[in-house]
Amino acid sequence: MLRVIFLGTGGSLPTRNRNPSSILINRDGELLFFDCGEGSQKQMMKAKTGMMALSSIYLTHFHADHILGIPGLVQTMSFQGRTEPLDIYGPPHIHDFVKMLIGIGYYKLRFDVRSREVAPGEIIHKNGYDIEIIKTKHSVPSVGYVLREHVRPGKFDRDKAIELGVPVGPMFSQLQKGFNVIVNGNRITPQDVLGPSRPGRTVVYSGDTRPTEDVERASKGADLLIHEATLAEDKKEWARESMHSTSVEAARLAADANVERLILTHISSRYTDDISPIYNEAKQHFKSVIIASDLMEIDIPYKINKASE
Fold type of domain 2-152+196-308: Metallo-beta-lactamase; Chain A (3.60.15)
pLDDT at 143: 98
Residue 192 and residue 180 in contact, taking contact as beta carbons nearer than 8 Å? no
For 176-217, write each residue's pLDDT tens digit: 888 999 998 889 998 898 888 889 999 999 999 999 999 999
- The domain segmentation of the chain, as residue ranges, is 2-152+196-308, 158-193
For 158-174, write each residue's pLDDT tens digit: 988 898 889 988 999 89
pLDDT at 308: 43
Rounded CA separation 136/97 (Å): 20
Rounded CA separation 145/88 (Å): 13
- CA dihedral sign of residues 74, 42, 61, 26: positive
Query: Coil, helix or strand for 51?
Result: coil
Q: Which residues are catalytic?
A: 65
- Kindly report the backbone phi and psi dihedral angles of residue 270, in degrees, each rounded to the nearest multiple of 5, phi listed first: -65, -15
Weakest-pLDDT range from 75-84, 99-108, 251-260, 269-278 = 99-108
* 31 contact partners, CB below 8 Å, separation of at least 6: 24, 25, 49, 50, 51, 53, 54, 55
Confidence of residue 105 (pLDDT cuts 50, 70, 90): low
pLDDT at 196: 86
Confidence of residue 11 (pLDDT cuts 50, 70, 90): very high
pTM of the model as a whole: 0.90
Q: Which residue from 137, 141, 143 is spatially nearest to 120, judged by alpha carbons?
A: 143
pLDDT at 307: 45
For 219-276, write each residue's pLDDT tens digit: 999 999 999 999 999 999 999 999 999 999 999 999 999 999 999 999 999 999 999 9
Distances (CA, A) of 3 to 8, 84, 96, 239: 15, 23, 31, 30
Rounded CA separation 177/179 (Å): 6
Over residues 10-21, mean pLDDT: 95
pLDDT > 90? residue 39: yes
